[in-house]
A and B are shown apart, each in its own frame.
Chain A
Amino acid sequence: MGDTVFEVAPGWAFVAVALLGGLIYLGAVINGLLATRATGRAPSAALRWPVAEAARLLRQRRRSTVSADSLLWRIGGAGMLIVAALKIAVIPLGQWTLFDFDAGLVWFNAMDTLVWALIWLVGWGGNSAHALVGGYRFLALAVAYELPLMFALIATAVGAESLNVGSIVAAQADLWFVVWMPVAFLIYSVGAVAFSVWGPFASALAPDIAGGATTELSGVDRLLFFAGRYGVLVAGAAFAVALFFGGGFGPLLPEWAWFLVKTVLVLAAFIWAGRKLPLIRPEQFMEVGWVLLIPAGIVQDLVVALVVVNR
């Protein structure tokens, strides 16, 4: 168990979800600000846009398709937000955590494999060809990014000699893991952006297949899905702070404040990089993942293991 982290009462889960909601809004605003800068519109539109879009989707009547598998479709659409909430359960906010779990790192990893199922279910449920193509694209991409991601996660667990996220944060009191595990951090970032179907890894939702998995999503389903996508990205950024940027460690400010500041910075970096990088075709990324990233991750794990054995 982490000696600097203690578990809070379950009621705080509501606060955690509210915080997640706030960060989702912030993520949408950051994305909007980058969009307004790119198109030369007034930046104030970015503040208004997430609220206006949410209001529009809440009022929109839900569209349905012929013989849609509504059950699976709804599970896929609403699931992303639930996965995001389950992910943040094991991430310590400074010294508080909702779930001080011995295998917290594996918990987070298990939650991001749920995204495999959810994106495919969204693609399948609507009984639409473009949406199904999007679902298959995500699975192809997932096979390419998930294994490197696992090797990146292993590096931090070996470095801290624990699977508990609190202990991993505590092990960075002297030196952040990003300093001596830069390759693991890069691979983790690729994975985090990819499981959020963001930026170069958004081919499952690409315009060339009319929005892919989300082609037929409308109304509240669409709102939940896209809010959940930002939520998963927020969880990915927060987990990067816990694994690589020393969690709440920092001078002057309290731990929770440092944690939030770092999370927002990493989130902004993910969103910015996602907008700058071109879309990657899944079949091309397969080779990048297996020929470059997996060996790089294994070498990183080996280096970390040698350091841990010899210290």
Chain B
Amino acid sequence: MTVIGDILFWLVGAVAVLSGAAVFWVNSMARATYALAISFVAVGLQLLLLDQAYLGIITILMMVMEMAVMAVYMIMYMGMNPALMPMSMVHDKRLSRAIAIATFGLLAAGIVLTPWPSGSPLQVDDVTLALGEALMGSKMLAMIVLSPVMVATIVAGVSLSLPRGRYDRYGDDLQRRRADDPQPGGVGR
């Protein structure tokens, strides 16, 4: 990277860390959520600066969507409407501090103890492809097994949490012509 690229990278990194910390400084659910969104966007920009065009943009795309939806859940689950009022974003301070320090120590130890490759890296044409092969090349089997497991988890989770199943909708013998839904859907089922 160029000098300007380096400076930008560190600036964006600082934005990512500071806005991540801002999640706990601010006193509103909405601000906390979007501070986290800014942190993720900054990380996405860092990936862009590393020439990972697709990964950088997809990080921004996914995280903005996720944070927009997360804000809804944050406010919903905070119940009794304190979420609509100013409130502290820090709970159970002693335990949280212990978990935070332990997690930081673990991650930092991982970074320090990893045998990073030394010297300047080889020039590659397609860095996204290179990264994909470095991450997954030798672990393709694990990745392939992982995706059906994840899909099965999602399906199981949804069917366990479903308030109304097909027997509620189509009757005990599943013979009802039109589903009995409290709210009609848009395609006339």
Contacts and interface: CB of A to CB of B under 8 A. Distances in A.
A175 B186 CA distance: 35
A306 B76 CA distance: 45
B64 interface: yes
A102 B30 contact: no
A113 B61 contact: yes
B115 interface: no
A291 B68 CA distance: 23
Contact of B65 (A107, A136, A146, A285): A146
A9 B72 CA distance: 41
A287 B186 CA distance: 5
Contacts, number: 73
A162 B61 CA distance: 19
B69 A117 contact: no
Interface in B63-107: 64-65, 67-69, 71-72
Interface in B140-189: 183-187, 189
A117 B34 contact: yes
B145 to A, nearest CB: 24
B72 A109 contact: no
Contacts of A285: 186
A281 B185 CA distance: 10
B30 A113 contact: no
Interface residues of A, number: 33
B187 A163 contact: no
B180 to A, nearest CB: 15
Contact of B28 (A69, A117, A163, A286): A69
A7 B187 CA distance: 45
A291 B30 contact: no
Nearest to B63: A113
B68 A284 contact: no
Contact of A102 (B31, B54, B71, B189): B54
A259 interface: no
B49 to A, nearest CB: 14
Nearest to B183: A283
29 contacts: A69-B28, A72-B30, A72-B31, A72-B34, A101-B53, A102-B53, A103-B53, A103-B54, A103-B57, A106-B54, A106-B57, A113-B64, A113-B68, A116-B64, A117-B37, A117-B64, A120-B71, A121-B34, A136-B72, A139-B72, A146-B65, A163-B54, A280-B186, A281-B186, A284-B184, A286-B186, A287-B187, A288-B187, A291-B187
